[in-house]
Amino acid sequence: MNQFIGLAILAVAISLSNAKSDVIQLTPEVFNDKVVNSDSVWLVEFFAPWCGHCKSLAPEWEKVATALKGVVKVGAVDADQHKSLGSQFGVRGFPTIKIFGLDKSNQKITKSSAYTIGFHSCRRIKCIQSWASLPLGPYSGRTAPAIVDKALEVAKKTVKDRLGGKSGGKSGGGGGSSGGKSGGSGGNGGGKDAVVTLTDSNFEELVYNSKEPWLVEFFAPWCGHCKNLAPEFAQAASELKGTFKLGALDATAHTIIASRFGIQGYPTLKYFPVGSGGQSDAQDYDGGRQASGIVSWCMDKAADLLPTPEVKEIVDDAVLKEACEESPLCIIAALPHILDTGADGRNTYIKMMTELADKYKQRHWGWVWTEAGKQQKLEDTLGFGGFGYPALAAVNARKKKLAVFKGSFSIEGLGEFMRAVAVGRGSTEPLRGDTLPTVDTVEPWDGKDGELPVEDDIDLSDFDMDDEEDSGKDEL
C-alpha cells in the first residue's frame, strides 16, 4: 500500500513538473499546425531520450523556454520516437537545434524551413556542425543565453521584415539571395561569408589538397535554376560551416576550370573529398537541391571521414557502459579462450568486428568483446552458451532487448546479421535480468598467444607401484 501511495505521489510530482514546463512537446500530428503554419518564430530541439548530451541540455533548454516566453516559442521533438520529423528536417544526431522562420509563402517550408544552430551526437563526433559563435562545448550556464541571443536575432529580423513589407525571413534568415551580379551562390546575401567564391586562379589553391571536403557549384549568371538554388546553397553553407566547404564558380567566366570538369549544364555540383588533387577525384553530387537535402548529403559524406570505432575489450564496467548506455546499440562478442585460437585467431575475429564497425560507423554503435568465461554474468544475461564460441549479440540497453547471432562467424554471416539489425528486422528477445550486469575488472589481453599452465614434475618413487596381483583391489 505504501509503495502504491509512493508511486502515486511520484506520478503527481512528475505531472506537476511537466505542467510547469515552458517547453512545448511536439509530434508529427501537431507539428504543421503548431510550427509550420504558425505566425511565430520557433526554436525546436530534436532529441533522443538515451542521448547524454540531450540530458545535459535539458535544464538549459528549460531556461531558454522561460526566457523567450511570449517572444519565441520553444519546443522539443523526440526524434527517436518520431523519426519522420527528424528525417524531414535532416536531423543526423542529437541534440539538433533548429530555428523555424516565418516564410509561410515558401512552399518548400516543410522541407527546408529550419536553420540548424547546433549539432551534437555521441562523443565520437564532437561538433560536426556549428552556427556562428554558438558554444558547442560542454553545456554550461552560458549555453542558454547564447541560444536565446540567436533566437532573438531571428525574431528581430522578422520584425524588421514585417516593417519593410516582407513576408518573413527566408528559413529564419538563413539563406539570403544570390545577388544581382553572379546569379549563383557566391554573391551577396546571407550566405556571402559561407559560400566561397572560386575562380580559375584560386580553385587549385583552395580545393586541391584541402583538409576539408568541398562541394562546388558551377553556375551561370543567367541560369534560373542557379538563382533558385542560391539561397538554399547559401543556407547549407552556413549550416555546414566548420565541417564542409561550399564554393561557387561562375562557369561562364572561369572556363578553364569549368572545361576541366566537363561542365555542360547549370547548375552542376561536384564533390571533392579531402586531399583531392585533380579531375579524377571529383564526384557527381546526387542529393537534393534544398538546404536540408544538401546538408543531409554532406553530413553523410562527413560521416564517411570519421575514424573507425574502436573494438574494445571489456576490462571493466566503464567500458561496457560507454559502449551500451551512450550508444543506440552495442555489439558484444564473447571470443574463444586464447588457448583455443592463439593470437592470430583472436586477431582475425577482432578484425572482422572492426571491418563491420567501420561499415556501420554512421550508426554510432558501441563495439566490445570479452574472452569466453571471463565475464560469466554478462554471458548469462545475453544468453550465450549452448552453441559455442565465438558468440555475439546486438543489445539495445535502453529498450532492454537483444538479438543473438547464431550464424557462421564470418564477414558474410555477420554482415547479414548487421543488415537485419540496422533496419530493425530479425527476432529479438528481452534482456535477461532486465539490465546489463556489473562486470568484473580484469587484466586486458596482452596480445600474445596463451601459455599452458606449468605442471610440477612428479617423482614416481613417492607412489606405491605394487603389482595389481598384490594390490588386493578389484577392477570395476
**Of the listed 122, 127, 223, 330, which one is catalytic?**
223
Pairing of strands 330-335, 312-313: unpaired
User: Is 51 an annotated catalytic residue?
Assistant: yes
Task: Compute the distance between CA of residue 438 and CA of residue 421 in angstroms, rounded to an integer.
Answer: 25
User: Is 324 an annotated catalytic residue?
Assistant: no
Cα angle, residue 9 at apex, residues 8 and 15 outer, rounded to 5°: 90
Helix (H, G, I), strand (E, B) or coil at 380: helix
Task: Compute the distance between CA of residue 403 and CA of residue 294 in angstroms, rounded to an integer.
Answer: 35
Task: Compute the distance between CA of residue 307 and CA of residue 330 in angstroms, rounded to an integer.
Answer: 17
Helices (H), 326-367: 338-359
Q: Are 31 and 87 in contact (CB under 8 A)?
A: no
Q: Are 371 and 443 in contact (CB under 8 A)?
A: no
**Of the listed 54, 122, 298, 330, which one is catalytic?**
54
C-alpha cell at 212: 576539408
Cα angle, residue 396 at apex, residues 95 and 84 outer, rounded to 5°: 45
Beta strand extents in 136-275 (DSSP E only): 195-198, 214-219, 245-250, 268-272
Give 36's DSSP letter: I
**Of the listed 226, 298, 324, 330, which one is catalytic?**
226
Task: Compute the distance between CA of residue 291 and CA of residue 100 in angstroms, rounded to an integer.
Answer: 13
Which residues are catalytic, by number? 51, 54, 223, 226
